[in-house]
Amino acid sequence: MKDDNGPFAAEMPAARPIRFDRSKCIGCHACLEACQADVFVPGEKRGPGQPPVALFPGECWYCGACVMECPSKGAIALVHPLINQAHWVEKKKLTGG
């Protein structure tokens, strides 16, 4: 998925919980309306390929509401912090011992 957070991308801190795919976004801003943490602000333009701006990513609590409300599959994705992506595997399953 293309990583695109708009004009504020260069200012985004390490935590970047939201990724947009502008090629799939219809610009409805349902994600903005769904977010109870006010992570998003409207972009300069509205319409296809114009998602809101994830201006306050540090406020995200990873509830997934924005992704669930998005009517265009794949337009928005939630990226969990690396430490939460860890997957514990029993050692003997890895080593066979």
Contact status: 8 vs ligand SF4 (CB under 6 A) = no
The answer to whether 74 and 35 have CB atoms below 8 angstroms apart is no
CB 2 within 8 A of CB 74: no
Identified binder of ligand SF4 from the candidate list 35, 42, 53, 88, rule CB under 6 A: 35
**What residues are paired with 26 via a beta bridge?**
none
Taking CB under 6 A as the rule, does residue 12 contact ligand SF4? no
List the x/- string, 74-93, binding to ligand SF4 by CB under 6 A. Answer: -xx-x---------------
Cα–Cα dist 17/77, whole Å: 8
Binding site for ligand SF4 (CB under 6 A): 17-18, 20, 25-31, 34-35, 37, 39, 51, 60-66, 70, 72, 75-76, 78
